Amino acid sequence: DAGVIQSPRHEVTEMGQEVTLRCKPISGHNSLFWYRQTMMRGLELLIYFNNNVPIDDSGMPEDRFSAKMPNASFSTLKIQPSEPRDSAVYFCASSLADRGGYTFGSGTRLTVV
């Protein structure tokens, strides 16, 4: 298994631009999570899906952030418009909901200038 695949690995964009982060979970996993890591706030959960349905998006910082999971093998996290304070590493993780083990992707390092 290739693990959780995230793209791009690095993204540099200008303030105001739209940014889309992508994630392919492990085949067979039915839960998907988006986390953000910053020095100030550590690892924080933004949103998670179970069977492609958003279950808890209370961690999404504001309306500029949106996430979708159109099918079991793909999810996107979109920021529009992006701001410098969105600069962080964004991780995607997947799991079998009742197994408790989470596998993380390599992350996307986002820099908004």
Which residues would be at the binding site for another protein (CB under 8 A)? 31, 33, 42-43, 45, 48, 50, 55-56, 89, 91, 93, 97, 100-104, 106-107, 109
The smaller minimum CB distance to another protein, of residues 22 and 109, is found at: 109
CA dist., res. 43 & res. 36, Å (int): 6
Q: How far is the CB of 101 from another protein (least distance, A)?
A: 5
Closer residue to another protein, CB minimum distance, 33 or 65 = 33
| Least gap, CB of 73 to another protein (angstroms) | 20
Q: How far is the CB of 79 from another protein (least distance, A)?
A: 20
Q: Which is nearer to another protein, 65 or 91 (CB)?
A: 91
